[in-house]
Structure 1
Amino acid sequence: MSNTTADGLRTSLARRATVALAGAAALVGLAGVCAPGSAYAAPHATTARSAADFGDCPALPAGVDRARWKCEVHSAAPRLTMGEVTVDLAPITMTHAEGPMPDGSDGQVWGAMHTTPTAVPGGLTGTAAGDRSRPLQLAIRPEYGGRSDFYTGRFSLRFRLLSPLLPRGCVIGASTPVDFGLKRSGPSQWISQDPPLIKFSAYDDTFTAPAAENCGPLTAPLNRRLGLPAASGNLMSYDATYTFRKYVQLPTP
Structure 2
Amino acid sequence: MSKTSAARFRSSVGRRAAAGLAGAAALAGAAAVCAPGVAAAAPAAVSPSATDFSDCPALPDGVDPARWRCEVHTAAPRLTIGKVTVNLAQITMTHAEGPLPDGSNGQVWGAMHTVPTAVPGGLTGTPAGDHAPVPGMAIQPEYGGRSDFYTGRFSLRFRLIGPLLPHGCTIGAGEPVDFQLKRSGPSKWVSQDPPVIEFSAYDDTFTAPAAEHCGPLTSSLNRRLGLPATDQNLMSYDASYTFKTYDQLT
2:187 touches 2:197 (CA, 8 Å); kept in 1?
Answer: yes
Match of 1:44 among 27, 41, 46: 41
In structure 2, relative to structure 1, the CA distance for the partners of 1:194 and 1:87 (3 Å cut) is same
Structure 2: tracts of 5 or more residues without a match: 1-38
The aligned residue for residue 153 of structure 2 is 154
1:172 touches 1:212 (CA, 8 Å); kept in 2?
Answer: yes
The aligned residue for residue 133 of structure 1 is 133
Q: Distance in 2 between matches of 1:116 and 1:131?
A: 26
Q: Distance in 2 between matches of 1:203 and 1:107?
A: 24
Deviation digits for residues 26-57 of structure 1, max 9, x if unmatched?
xxxxxxxxxxxxxxxx9823279765111100
Q: Give SS of 1:67's match.
A: helix
In structure 2, relative to structure 1, the CA distance for the partners of 1:74 and 1:170 (3 Å cut) is same
Q: TM-score, normalised to structure 2's length?
A: 0.80
Q: TM-score, normalised to structure 1's length?
A: 0.79
Q: Distance in 2 between matches of 1:227 and 1:50?
A: 37
Q: Distance in 2 between matches of 1:172 and 1:108?
A: 26
CA displacement at 1:78 relative to structure 2: 0.2
2:167 pairs with 1:168? yes
Letter in 1 for 2:138: A
Deviation digits for residues 112-135 of structure 1, max 9, x if unmatched?
00000000011111015998636x
The alignment-based identity, stated in percent, is 76
Deviation digits for residues 211-236 of structure 1, max 9, x if unmatched?
00000000000000000000000000
In structure 2, relative to structure 1, the CA distance for the partners of 1:115 and 1:140 (3 Å cut) is same
Matches within 5 A, 1:172-191: 172-191=171-190
Q: Give SS of 2:247's match.
A: helix
Letter in 2 for 1:103: D
The aligned residue for residue 120 of structure 2 is 121
Q: Distance in 1 between matches of 2:131 and 2:237?
A: 27
The aligned residue for residue 234 of structure 1 is 233
The aligned residue for residue 7 of structure 1 is none
The aligned residue for residue 20 of structure 1 is none
Larger radius of gyration: 1
| CA RMSD between the two structures | 1.9
Report how many residues are paired: 209
In structure 2, relative to structure 1, the CA distance for the partners of 1:155 and 1:140 (3 Å cut) is same
1:72 touches 1:97 (CA, 8 Å); kept in 2?
Answer: yes
Letter in 1 for 2:41: H
The aligned residue for residue 99 of structure 1 is 98
Matches within 5 A, 1:4-153: 44-46=41-43, 51=48, 52-128=51-127, 133=133, 136-153=135-152
Q: Give SS of 2:95's match.
A: strand
| Ranges of 4+ aligned residues in structure 1 off by more than 6 Å | none
2:221 pairs with 1:222? yes
Letter in 2 for 1:46: P
